[in-house]
Every structure is written in C-alpha cells, then in structure tokens.
Structure 1
Amino acid sequence: MKFRLAATAALTATLFAGAGAQAQTVFTASTWVPPTHTLSVAQKEWCDALEKESAGRMKCNILPKSVSAPPGTFDAVRDGLADISFTVDGYTPGRFVNTQMAEFPFLGDNSMATSVAYQRIYSKYFAPLGEHKGVKVLGVFTHGPGTIFNSKKPVNSLADGATLKWRIGGGNINELTKLMGWNTTLKPATEAFELLSTGVMDGTLFPDESIASFKLSMIKHATTLPGGLYNTSFVFMMNPAKYDALSAQDKAVVDKLSGEYAARLFGAGWDKVDDASVNGAQKAQGVQRIKASDAFVNEIKAKQAPLEDKWAAAAEAKGLKNAKAVLAEFRAEIAKVK
C-alpha cells in the first residue's frame, strides 16, 4: 500500500512537472538584417526582457534565417510563419497611410525622440484606426535622421543629386526624391552593398549606422540636414493568435514591454550605433561630411510641402481627423521627449 501511494505521488509530481514544462510559450522571432545589426540586437534584448519579466514562462527562439524577404515580413507575422518580427512600412508602397507622417524631413536629430513621440501619436490616433490590422503591434519607431551618402561627390543642392543614381527604402522619401528630380530605385537596405559595390547605384539615403552595419566602404561623401532628410517608419509586431492564446498574466507582461518601452529600446539602440558609425567607420574610411546649406534645405522644404498636403488628405480619407493638427502635435511631442 505504501509503495502504491509513493508511486502515485511520484507519478503525480512528474505529471505536474511535465505540465509546467509544457506551459512555457516559445515565440519564433525572425530578423532580415544581420544578428549584429541594431534591429536584431534590440529584438533580442526585448526577448530577453520578456523571458525575465515572465520568470521563464515565455521565451524566444530567434531563427537563424529570416522567414521572408523584408517586404513580406508583415504578412509572414500575420500568417504565423513567424511569431515576432519588425518591418519597414514603406517596403509595401500604398499599404499604410498614417505611418507616413513619421517619414517626413526635418523631424528630429535622434531616433529616441522621434520614436517615442511617434509611439505616443500612434497609440492616441493611429492604433484606433487599425493601421496595422492583422498583427499585434508591440511598438512603432523610426531610425535616426536620414543622411545623403554617395561615392562620387559632395551633394549640396537638388542639381548635385540629380546627376547620381540612388538606392532608397520607400515611403515618403520615394515620392520626395521624385519631386526633387533624382534618379532613384526602391530597394531594401539589405541590397545596398551589392548595388553600390557594383556601381549600379552611386549613393543611398540611410541613417548614419548603415555605413558600418552594411559595410559600405565605398561611401566617401555625406550630407547631413537638420532633423534629417527623412525617417523610416518601422512596426515591431507579434502574431495575434499567439498573443490571444496567452494567459491574462502573460498578456500583461507582453503589454508592459510594448508601446513606449519598445520604442525607447529600439530608439536608444539606433542612436548608439549612429554615433559609433560617425566616429568609427566613417572616420576610418575618410567620409567627407558637410552640412546642407540653407538654400538646399529650402529647396527640399518647397518640394515636401505638397506631399504633406497629399498625406493629410489621404489620412483623413482613412478616418484620421484634423491630420495637419496631428502632424503639428507630433512635431511638438518630439521636442518634449527626454
């Protein structure tokens, strides 16, 4: 009898232990940039925080290879090919409207400020409109201010840039450079090295970190602008069915690490590598950096003005009220972020 009781107790303990082990939720996390890139690093830091905050109940399995090319990442997460990833809204032109607000020129001089302000505006105005319908949004953010890079010559006017061929990443900058009269091709960041090293393209529009991250040793000239020539809008996301299957306790952990927490995490990481690239890779390869003249800045502003009107009309058609006021609030919010 004692043996039976002991055996039963042992079996019960084993079953409970097994149930506890099975209760752990593992998220497949995908990244389409190298593991050393700030996007991959920030995603891993988020996953580490998830495991710590949940006392090990949740963790990530970071896949060795992306489940999709960058433009297909949103659909891959929506459809469950990966549970967690990030993407550039502009990689699928015309799909997202409100997010274009975060891509305009001259917004801010660092990723942290624009990312946190963008997250606040997104939560207040864009999320209720279902801008990223189909996924669970963990956060939105931007990279650092966009810089003009090329291998040929200094660029300090629209005319200078019109003589070169450019790789761009999409979004507002795609429309803006067309109005600027530049010869541009829409390609993901991951193709920049091949395009520039083979001479297919002469230059690229990128945040500062990209020179080091994508090993663009052919770059010799950079033009910086106050607040950047552009920003890129990113969404960090989770498969909604995976989120819905979580317990209330674990959903609360995910929610705690979403929104401004995620925006600050990605923003801080980007600012760190931007600074490192300027003072490291760019100095090492002798990149000549110039500041855009007031005349060049004014040329760009004149081309951008109708795009902001176009965006406001499109956003209001999608349900956003007083789009120009929202844009003004966004710019004011950037100035507040510490």
Structure 2
Amino acid sequence: MSARLLFVATLAAFGACAASAQTVLTVSSWTPPGHMLSLTQKDWCDQLEQKSAGKLKCNILPRAVSAPPGTFDAVRNGLADVSFTVHGYTPGRFTLIALTEFPFLGNSAEAMSLAYQQVFDRTPAMKDEHRGVKVLAVFTHGPGMVFNTKRPITKLEELQGLKFRVGGGMVNDIGKALGMNVTLKPSIENYELLTTGVMDGTLFPPESIEAFKIDKVVRYGTTFPGGLYNTSFVFMMNQARYDKLSADEKRIVDSLSGEHAARLFGRGWDRVDRRAMALMQASGVQFSPADPSLIQAVKDRVAPLEAQWVQAAQAKGIADPKKLLADYRADISRREK
C-alpha cells in the first residue's frame, strides 16, 4: 500500500473510531417543539453536547414515543432514553410528590423547583417511588390559576355549575374538595375541550394558556396568592442507559442534573408565565383576585387533604412529614425574597 493510501486508510479508521465513540441519547417530548418544556429539554441537550465536546449528544425524536400518561413507563422500558412527565398523569402511583402540589406555595417556578429539588435530594423515599429511571431533576410550574369561558369567578359558589379540565395529581383532589366538576385530561387536549364546549374551563399556570393557544378562548382568570395548586414534573433518563455510560459521561450528565436542570425548567417557566400574562391582557382576558372568603374556603377544605398526605408519607417512612412540608414552604419563601 502506498504511503498516501495508508494515510487515507488511517484517517478513515480514526474517523470511524471517533464516530463510534459518540454516545447518542434518544430524547422524546410530548409537548410541541416550541413549548417551553421541549425547548428547555433541547437546551439541556445542547449543554450536554457542548460540555462533552460532542461525545454526548441527543437525537430528539420528531414525535413522542408515548402519550403523556405513558411517558414514565416508556422511559423506564427503554422506548426513549430521556424525557419528562407529570407525576399526576398516573394517579395513585406517586404519593410523596404531592408535597409540592398544595395551594399557596409560591409565585416563582424557579424558587419552587429549586426547593423541591432540595427536598428530593435528601429524601430517599421520594427516590424509591422512581425506581427504574434515573431522575435528572424534579421541578414545578408556576402558580396555578382558574380559567374559564363563562364568567368572572371570585367566590366559592361561582365555581359551581361549570366543567373544568384538570391535569391530575393534587389539583384533582383540590377541585373535588371545592365542589368543582373536574375531569382528568392531558394539557394538550385543552383547545378542543374548550372550543367544543365539552369543558367550560381549565386549571393552568399562565404559560399553558399561550402554549396551547387558548388565550383567545378563555375569557376569565382567577388568581390566588401563591397559586391555587401546583404540578410536579420529573425529568428523567432510562436507568439502564445511564448505567452503561462511562464514568466521564456520568460525571457530565450528573453535573447538568439536580439543581442545574431544576433551575433551567423553573426559570424557563417563570419567563413564559410573564409573557403569557401580557399576551392574555392584550387578548382581553379579565383577571380577578380570589375573594378572601374563597381563599379561606380553599384553606379549610384542603386541610384534610394535607392531613391525608401526612399519614401517607408516614406510611412511606417519612419520620416527620409536617416538618418536611413546613421546611419546603419556608425554603420557597426564602428564595422568593
């Protein structure tokens, strides 16, 4: 073989080795490509590729590998390497995460997400509920509100007689405790449900009104100090896929996980919440603060739900659930100052 041919062959072999050394993670999203969740997941992937100098990268699939309620199992079973989901989309499966879904927790998704990540990191029982996946981060959206197409709502009795879509988890229980007619449906179905009149309203953070293009469909919004509810999310990787990574690859993934990823999602949500509020105001959505009597009714009627959670958390091995919840609230308050 001539020296030139040997050189070309060597380059080809080197290129093949370099290509084979690259680790590609299959990534799925059930929200549209322009949704904050999809964009933040892509941002995380871009950081992963940059930090690994191209040795780790993501293949973001054009379509989700599963409907939202099946995403946790899809990642656990290896249909995708990385994705996110709402814990409440699979009722009864996750008990401890309800800590993050009670009313009046906070007004910043970033503050709530970072406080949530802190609780998760120091609570082994929470990790036990996620067996089969590598939790990259947990996070929440911004304060949940009540939106509807029919009338202003400021009092408890004004919630009655309307049909509301909810996303599952504690918000479903809160709605029922308030005597609301609630139906569990994924967020991506809101436009059809509201425009066809199947539902009269939805419980959402501001961001989702813009994301699912219903800013011209809903006409009224009710705000609550710290939110009527919140929603818990998990950003995750298939455990077996993580286990197969090299030590250096695991170190890079870990460095972009935990508080780093929680901050990415929380900060992104705060940003689009602000934008969505401005968009809704421009679209003529009428906002009303919850009447003090409604706020007190929420506190009174949710108190038994909190007590039930304390009992369930104790059964899961949490020594002092009341303190855990109190510390969580205090941490959010500290971060929001």
Q: Same fold (TM over 0.5)?
A: yes
Shift of 1:127: 5.9
Secondary structure in 2 aligned to 1:56? coil
1:148-297 aligned at under 5 Å gives the runs: 148-216=146-214, 217-280=216-279, 282-297=280-295
Which position in structure 2 is the counterpart of 1:42? 40
Equivalent of 2:83, from 68, 82, 85? 85
Give, in whole Å, the separation in 2 of the partners of 1:53 and 1:321. 39
- 1:43 aligned partner, one-letter code: Q
Mapped contact 2:111–2:335 kept (Cα < 8 A): yes
8 Å contact kept, 1:129–1:319: no
- Residue identity opposite 1:311 in structure 2: W
Identity of aligned residues (%): 55
Question: Given the superposition, is the C-alpha separation of residues 178 and 271 from structure 1 closer, same or farther in structure 2, using an over 3 Å criterion?
Answer: same
Map of 1:41-190 to 2, 5 A cutoff? 41-126=39-124, 129-190=127-188
| Aligned equivalents of 1:22, 1:79: Cα separation in 2 | 24
TM-score, normalization: structure 2? Answer: 0.96
Q: Cα offset for 1:158?
A: 1.8
Return 34-43 or 6-15, whichever deviates more. Answer: 6-15
Deviation sequence 1:230-265 (CA, Å, 0-9, x none): 000000001111111111001000000000000000
Residues 98 and 126, structure 1, Cα contact 8 Å, conserved in 2: no
* Cα 1:126/1:194, change in 2 over 3 Å: farther
What SS does the aligned partner of 2:235 have? Answer: strand
Task: Kindly indicate whether the alpha-carbon contact (under 8 Å) linking 1:129 and 1:320 is maintained by their aligned counterparts in 2.
Answer: no
Secondary structure class of the residue paired with 2:115? helix
Name structure 1 gaps, 5 residues minimum. Answer: none
Q: Deviations over 1:151-204 (max 9, x none)?
A: 101111221101210000011111111111110000000111110000000000
TM-score, length of structure 1 as denominator length: 0.96
Three-state SS of the structure 2 residue aligned to 1:337 is: helix
**2:229 counterpart SS class:** coil
Distance 1:4 1:215 in 2: 64
Cα 1:309/1:89, change in 2 over 3 Å? same
Q: Is the 8 A contact 1:142 1:233 kept in 2?
A: yes
Deviation (angstroms), 1:130: 1.2
Amino acid at match of 1:21: A
Q: State the distance in 1 between where 2:46 and 2:318 align.
A: 36
Q: Residue 226 of structure 1: CA displacement?
A: 0.4
Q: Which runs of 5+ in 2 are unaligned?
A: none
Q: Which amino acid in the other structure matches residue 209 of structure 1?
A: E
Letter in 2 for 1:287: V
Q: How far apart, CA to CA, are the structure 1 residues paired with 2:272 and 2:249?
A: 32
Q: 1:24 aligns with which of 22, 25, 28?
A: 22
Kindly tell me the number of residue pairs found equivalent between the two proteins. Answer: 335
Q: Secondary structure at the match of 2:172?
A: helix
Give yes or no for contact 2:135–2:237 (8 Å, CA) kept in 1.
yes
Q: Once the 2 structures are TM-superposed, how far is the Cα of residue 114 of structure 1 from its aligned partner?
A: 0.4
Of the structure 1 ranges 15-24 and 166-175, higher mean CA displacement relative to structure 2 is found in 15-24
1:299 aligned onto 2:297 = yes
Q: Distance in 2 between matches of 1:276 and 1:258?
A: 26
